Structure 1
Amino acid sequence: MIQLSNLSKTFFLNGKSKVVAKNINAVFPSGVSIGLLGRNGAGKSTMLQMISGTQRPTSGSISSTGSISYPVGFAGSFHPELTGSQNARFVARIYGVDTEKLTEFVKDFAELGVHFDLPFRTYSSGMRSRLAFGVSMGIKFDTYLVDEVTSVGDAAFQTKSSALFQERMKTSGAIVVSHSLPMIRKLCSAGAVLEKGRLFYYDGIEDAIKHYNHVIQGRTPPWIVEY
């Protein structure tokens, strides 16, 4: 379970403010795969970062039971001068998992070849995503945070990544951000919509998608009080 309590997040830039979260109170239940929907710029990635602990809220708190991944596919935590192998070992030590097992898993899954033993700064964006996804999926978490899982690698690697993710979902939950509604329907049973600092949770993914479709058409859903 992940609980958001009076959660607020505001960015300030050049005298202007951008509200991502405004006193949000919500609960993401354990063992459920939840699609987090919202228009571009709504703050979905920021929400994942706050839940993972890599971004601090302006006010309020986030509490949880069980372990939570950093956003799957997020490569910002890797050290540029360390090799892929060294970065995998470093993450293994942070999370207290078997170093050799994680390194071997990532080496096999990410398919980086000789680049696995080269500095991370030399990687292309696709190679960075492969490494990040492999490291994330190589560790068993109670809840995975996933930001655009479909964007990882080429078509064959995307299929491989999706299959591994679905295998993990047999024993874990997830919060998934994706602009692909077919992928959201495939991966998620529940949904949430982030709009103008408010979060709306739905037990059924189709209800969340219905709300989201109103949002992208510039309309407020009839069952929601004006934003």
Structure 2
Amino acid sequence: MAEDTLVRVEHLAKKFCRDLKTSLWYGVQDLGAEFVGKKKEEDIQLRNKEFWAVRDINFELKRGECLGLIGRNGAGKSTLLKMLNGLIKPDKGRIEMYGRIGALIELGSGFNPILTGRENIYNNGSVLGLNKKEIDGLLEEIIDFSEMEKFIDTPVQYYSSGMKVRLGFSVAAHMKPDVLILDEVLAVGDSGFKIKSFNKINEIMRDAAVIFVSHSMPHIANITNKVLLMENGVVDYYGENITDGIERYFGLFAGDKERVEYNEFATIEDMKVYASAKYADDPSRKLPAIDYRDPIRIDLDLKLKPNVEWFHIKLQITDKDLKIVGIYDSFQFQEAIKNDRDLHHLKITIPNSIFIDGEYSITVFIQQRDPINSKWNLLAVYRYWRKFNMKASAGLGYVPAVVYLPGQCEVV
């Protein structure tokens, strides 16, 4: 093994039983087989009501690397972390970890609730092999970082979720770990503490290996240099191309299906989003692709009820995280459109598309403004009615932003 390799996982697997009573009986059988030396990895197979929670996981992590562990809920991420931290025993495979291991994989894990925060710091330090003098030297730094000075002598059972995260991360990060394992628990903390925590992770990475689990892709893109995507307990992607891993993660979701939310007074007969010229004749693309700073061009065919005199169009653009990234509203740019025909053929042009790479959905609102009370009345809502892909990065990869801002830098 290379000298700076701190984590190596080979063919790791773990199975569980869906039924409690059956699980207890299987546990007795397995203990007996291990006791008499009859249990062998190659003989392990699924029994009735069992399933593989994690299967055939392989990866390697060196000092200075941060592995982003991603996947949908139930993919097996937490089970993998518990095996890495020694909380549960794998059924197959091998784990090699070198040095001191710091972990924060469940809210409040490693804390005795009846002890104070200060006493728990000493407990955790002792488990990691530090003596009292070493912990004394780190104590004030841990307390200052956690911002828990007023409550450090309060029993942990009275801490809020955010307070437990603050103290738990501070302990794990300041015990000088060679391997730091962090689950999604940082999502509980406030924004200020998150920023401080990610800065600390970047500092730790200089001398340690970090395994970081998150559902926030901007966080994954910011701090990781490797990514492992899990799906149904197996590896779907493993490599250093963070952009590819994130796109595969988003691809696991079927996405929000287009739906008619409301159409009592108006109906969309047809809608088309045009691709950029260079992609227009590419039959392999399922969605229209638009280049950075090319216009977004949309054709919209509408029918409205005769009692509607005037109307406006609003387009809401959302990314795959369902975050609203842009809105076009005809009310801001022109007079209301008169309902003077059976079928309206509308051409909408958004001059500059400056969104980052990715898939986007367009929700269409057809609305009417009441001139008396200035309120808006919805005529129709077509949710996620059309989708398109942005091709923006030109090799820059995934970035934790919404848009690429155009601009110039001149030497003067």
The TM-score with structure 1 as length reference comes to: 0.87
Relative to structure 2, which stretch is displaced further, 61-70 or 82-91?
61-70
The one-letter amino acid paired with 2:110 is: S
The farther-off stretch of 200-209 and 83-92 is: 200-209
Verify: 1:58 aligned to 2:91, yes or no: yes
- Identity percentage of aligned residues: 35
Selected match of 1:195 from 220, 228, 231: 231
Deviation at 1:154, TM superposition (A): 1.4
Comparing both structures, which one devotes a greater share of its residues to helix? Answer: 1
Q: Residues 72, 104 of structure 1: CA spacing in aligned structure 2 closer, same or farther, 3 A cutoff? A: farther
1:137: how far off?
0.9
Q: 2:219 aligns with which of 136, 160, 183?
A: 183
CA deviation after TM superposition for structure 1 residue 142, in Å: 1.9
Quote the Cα distance in structure 2 between the aligned partners of 1:68 and 1:123. Answer: 25
Task: Establish whether residue 205 from structure 1 lines up as the match of residue 205 from structure 2.
Answer: no
CA distance in 2, matches of 1:79, 1:149: 18
1:224 is matched with which residue? none
Q: 2:143 corresponds to which residue?
A: 107
Of 14, 17, 21, 1:12 maps to 17
Matched residue, 1:173 = 209
Count of residue correspondences: 218
Higher RCO, 1 or 2 (CA under 8 Å, sep at least 6)?
1
Q: Which has the larger share of strand?
A: 2
Aligned: 1:37 with 2:70: yes
1-side partners of 2:66 and 2:157: how far apart? 33
Where does the alignment leave 5 or more consecutive residues of structure 1 unmatched? 219-227
Q: Partner letter of residue 83 of structure 1?
A: T
> Taking structure 1 as reference, are residues 26 and 153 closer, same or farther at Cα in structure 2, changes over 3 Å only?
closer
Unaligned runs of 5+ in 2: 23-48, 256-412
RMSD: 2.0
Q: Which has the larger radius of gyration?
A: 2
Worse-matched range after superposition: 11-20 or 54-63 = 11-20
TM-superposed CA distance for 1:37, in Å, is 1.0
Q: Which residue of 2 aligns with 1:83?
A: 116
Aligned to 1:25: 58
Counterparts in 2 of 1:158 and 1:26: CA distance versus 1, 3 Å: closer
SS in 1 for 2:252: helix
Aligned equivalent of 2:160? 124
Q: Match for residue 80 of structure 2?
A: 47
The CA distance in 1 between the partners of 2:104 and 2:254, in whole Å, is 28
Paired residues of 2:78 and 2:105 also in contact (CA < 8 A): no
Q: Cα deviations across residues 36-59 of structure 1 (Å, max 9, x unaligned)? A: 111111121221121111222223
Q: In 2, are the aligned partners of 1:89 and 1:102 still within 8 Å (CA)?
A: no
Residue 163 (structure 1) aligned with residue 199 (structure 2) = yes
Describe the shift of the 1:149–1:121 C-alpha distance in structure 2 as closer, same or farther (beyond 3 A). closer
Q: C-alpha offsets along residues 56-78 of structure 1, whole Å, 9 cap, x if unaligned?
A: 22232211233332236642211
Partner of 1:225: none
Distance change (3 Å), C-alpha of 1:182 and 1:25: closer
- Is contact 1:152-1:158 (8 Å) kept? no
SS of the residue 2:164 aligns to? helix
Distance 2:99 2:18 in 1: 35
Q: Which residue of 2 aligns with 1:222?
A: none
Secondary structure of 2:104's match? Answer: coil
What is the rounded CA distance, in whole Å, between the counterparts of 1:58 and 1:196 in structure 2?
17
Code of the aligned partner of 1:10: K
Distance 1:18 1:61 in 2: 20
Deviations 1:158-184 (A, max 9, x none): 122122122112222211111110110
More deviation in 24-33 or 180-189? 24-33
Report if aligned partners of 1:80, 1:120 keep a CA contact under 8 Å in 2. Answer: yes
Distance 1:104 1:133, change over 3 A: same
What is the rounded CA distance, in whole Å, between the counterparts of 1:11 and 1:115 in structure 2?
Answer: 40
